[in-house]
Structure 1
């Protein structure tokens, strides 16, 4: 279950923990492992790392892109635009796969991800979390942006390690942020005794619901996945 002792952490701390946990997986990988499958349809490990590199780059840009506001999204409502099986999602899968394949030496992709993620964390720690910034066509506070970045990195951490049984686990504080985000999208605390990892996987469509889980969720079962 959730460790509520991490709830007091600032968004920049949660982002640091999420990115450091993800980086702890990436830094250990070799070329052969970079071709292992992930939970993301059509993506090998290297493809997913390239996608997460783009997310860290986007965060780095957004933290240096102030907006006049007002915010039109927060750390929960940001995800309302990100539904699975959209045309944009399919195009993004193809683009990441082709682009990641252009790195003939996996070490180059690995090192680029590691240095970009570290730069994004440094920028987050120096940013005013109340300042509004622009990203993905929306405006939100820098703190809420940091939370969305941590949530995405943590869900993808679970995707990345499905074929890496000895890989380091995601950050507990970041998993707590994933739970808070999913509860926010659901509108209440989930009525199923899922631990944070299983909640992240089930509520984003990565593992199927059992009949008992569907019964416990009631009408809300049809709303899953909450984001893709």
Structure 2
């Protein structure tokens, strides 16, 4: 599958789920500290950054990849409180959280189309790094897939596409530098590997010393 097509699937899944949410549902909690509308706004910022990045070629070879990119975003490296406050303030300034949904719908669709058109041999620049385009697309898929699980923690929705969860597993394996317990589904791994669900005693026993590496990303 073209990596841009996978991003389209993930973004379309979020769009289909959020399209008809009412204001009460948009104010519901998620697996994060944000409400649904706030987390959707956070994803909107990522889709906007994607559009900028597709049009920002790097003039040197990649300096990071789909796995090492996340080392900058390990929970141990900072708590992200400033961004959390910014997102809350920005969403509060909207006349209605439904406007966030409308902006997400438009921006996510545009980012998906741009992902399909971008040459796969491009090297792009974002957030102080240079990535081959397929690796950059992977970072977007991982972010959106994990947040899709966050969004539907309290407001149920359709499951995430299996191919997207498989990509999350691939990246988490790279960060873990090992293998998750064989009994973990891809969804379990996405939630436990990012700290959304706590590890059980059995999990820790199966992971051994690798348990100290979790959570692998925030």
Q: TM-score, normalised by structure 2?
A: 0.96
Q: CA deviation at 1:87?
A: 4.3
Partners of 1:51 and 1:96 within 8 A in 2: yes
Q: Partner of 2:171 in structure 1? A: 181
Q: CA deviation at 1:56?
A: 0.4
Query: Any unmatched runs of 5+ in structure 1?
Result: 1-8
- 1:227 pairs with 2:217: yes
Q: Partner of 2:208 in structure 1? A: 218
Query: Any unmatched runs of 5+ in structure 2?
Result: none
Partners of 1:17 and 1:173 within 8 A in 2: no
Runs of 4+ in 1 over 2 A off after TM superposition: 85-88
Task: Determine which of 66, 70, 74 is the counterpart of 1:75.
Answer: 66
Task: Determine which of 102, 105, 126 is the counterpart of 1:114.
Answer: 105
CA–CA separation in structure 1 for the residues paired with 2:94 and 2:160: 26
Q: Partner of 1:208 in structure 2? A: 198
Q: CA deviation at 1:32?
A: 1.1
Aligned-CA RMSD value? 1.2
Paired positions, count: 218
Partners of 2:10 and 2:161 within 8 A in 1: yes
CA–CA separation in structure 1 for the residues paired with 2:139 and 2:153: 22
CA–CA separation in structure 2 for the residues paired with 1:88 and 1:140: 25
Partners of 1:182 and 1:203 within 8 A in 2: yes
Task: Determine which of 3, 8, 21 is the counterpart of 1:11.
Answer: 3
Q: Partner of 1:23 in structure 2? A: 15
